[in-house]
A and B are shown apart, each in its own frame.
Chain A
């Protein structure tokens, strides 16, 4: 049984007079013990809202939460606040994006660490201080006893994030949620922090839910990746298959828009056109369709399921005609190749051919893609 099992999580912001905004519209994923799971997507796709909803940190008013999130057998979304507060910090913990603003500027680091220890582990006085020093030492902060007396602004950015990590792992939580923990840090420190997280996860057997837009972080850390778009998981796969053969055009586009050192000179990056504001409601079809190079009429049918890619064990994708990448094909070359696909190959899927050929747009045959996928993957 997975440690955390999120099932059809929905978060809707309701405002006075303003139309409701569905930030998360049915996210499902699972995190096993001591597994590192990535939640990837661009700004505004619902990553952070998902994590806050799991932690019960969203405001009580103006927010509607649906679905289930089973953590060790209890549904986090239906837990009473008092119970949730006991769970937070001891079983569940979270690391935030900006280490400076996440630390209280007028309280010494030591007090902020020991308050967690006294809250969840009942440590007081010198015992708490000793444990706090050990924690800081464990996350790689030199001279921890002196650091305990210092204020956040006296620490460097990397050390602040280390202190926050120390606070988060103080009670050896079973699930750690890291919401873009390296975004506010410079690149040299990023690597150190990721290394540290990896070490802690290995040592304590903590499961890590990594929320990021940085595919480099995903590649270096995650066992399993969920790609989010407009509040839904559009692709879920283990790390290797995702990077090698991203099937959803969005995931594919994300990979294609990363600068690569081994790309030929003069080759341009391929951005995904438009922005996340150009989305349609998932009920009206694929939210990514307006930005997708392969979208067809069929994409606007709605009720798109997250389906297993043929011939795969754990590679699911929410797409009518997933991009096919030839084995060994670099991620950056994918969209170009696949772009030739539709229209070239004759449709041979018996499912819904008739309907689509009848009203399908010329030159864009969705079945072509599907057929190609089957060929490529089986």
Chain B
């Protein structure tokens, strides 16, 4: 019996070994699938360009973005805007600053606002949702109460229109770059909280949780080592999607005049807001930052979408 068993297992081992060279953990396999996806590739390239520009922007910018070098040229002509030309590839803005330099340098702040606010929303939201989900699934009666309290708070945040919420936060906390980040981040909290909680509840009913419970594994360990790693997939995907939304929200806040008070510092949202006044005379001034926002959002969204597909267990072969 034992020899036969061994033989059969060897055989099984051989068949699984070929499989194991291809696959690794859930994440490694997701990465492998991600690499094969064209959508993910495009998204990743856009994101990479965006990040590189954000880092090196100030150095590759041909001119100082805050210096109104060609101020006279623009002002003397009375709203005769200067379009693209030899020295200024994207032309000048309404104060005679080099548009290309402003775009390049503005990338950093745009990215910063997007990343920091998303991280904020992710951290607070995931913490709330995680506690709530764990409490409801494993905390007994007290846990259910805690979940109810937390989720009603989240519901209240969810009930407010996101921009209105951001505007309120920005209005309460005063105008600053930090405020913008917090305002945009706060808007993301309920989404992350709801998502992680739901995901954890789904995992809490899984067979392996029952199996772990049947072996006496402590609740804290079940939550942290078993439920959480399996629940994070959708939340991480949401984070990439939220990054795009955050950039747009930040731009919207700037547009409404609740952004960074130092208006000379370039940021795509601010630039878009300023361009609005001159839309008749110089539509391109609005187009550049708008295209920038759209393309980066698209990049993040593409990557997020591809990631969602790569992590979806139903699509896994």
Contacts and interface: CB of A to CB of B under 8 A. Distances in A.
A140 B10 CA distance: 11
Given A142-B9, A151-B24, A102 B207 contact: yes
Interface string B12-25: 11011001100111
Given A140-B5, A142-B10, A156-B15, A107 B229 contact: yes
Nearest to B144: A61
Most chain A beta-carbon contacts within 10 A, residue among B15, B19, B217? B217
Interface in B23-58: 23-27
B221 interface: yes
A103 B8 CA distance: 22
A110 to B, nearest CB: 13
A90 B207 CA distance: 20
A143 B215 contact: no
Contacts of A116: 215-217
B160 interface: no
Contacts, number: 116
A108 B217 CA distance: 16
A79 B19 CA distance: 45
Nearest to A193: B5
What is the interface residue range for chain B against chain A?
35 or more
Nearest to A151: B25
Contacts of A88: 213-216
Interface in A81-107: 85-90, 93-94, 96, 98, 101-107
Nearest to B313: A105
What is the interface residue range for chain A against chain B?
35 or more
B253 to A, nearest CB: 38
B156 interface: no
B103 to A, nearest CB: 41
Nearest to B1: A195
Nearest to B210: A57
B201 to A, nearest CB: 13
A326 interface: no
A141 B16 CA distance: 13
B26 A192 contact: no
Contacts of B9: 140-142, 156, 158-159
B280 interface: no
Contacts of B6: 140, 142
Contacts of A101: 206-208
A378 interface: no
A106 B26 contact: yes
A143 B5 CA distance: 14
B137 to A, nearest CB: 10
Contacts of B226: 104, 107
A60 B143 CA distance: 12
B214 A104 contact: no
Nearest to B221: A115
B270 to A, nearest CB: 43
B230 A105 contact: yes
A153 B16 CA distance: 9
A96 B214 contact: yes
A154 B225 contact: no
A156 B12 contact: yes
Contacts of A112: 212
Interface string A169-211: 0100000000000000000110010010000000000000000
23 contacts: A57-B210, A60-B140, A85-B213, A85-B216, A86-B216, A88-B213, A89-B214, A89-B217, A102-B207, A104-B208, A105-B208, A107-B225, A119-B215, A119-B217, A119-B218, A119-B221, A151-B26, A154-B19, A155-B16, A156-B13, A159-B9, A192-B5, A195-B5
Given A105-B26, A119-B218, A158-B8, 6 more contacts: A85-B216, A94-B215, A103-B211, A111-B225, A142-B13, A156-B16
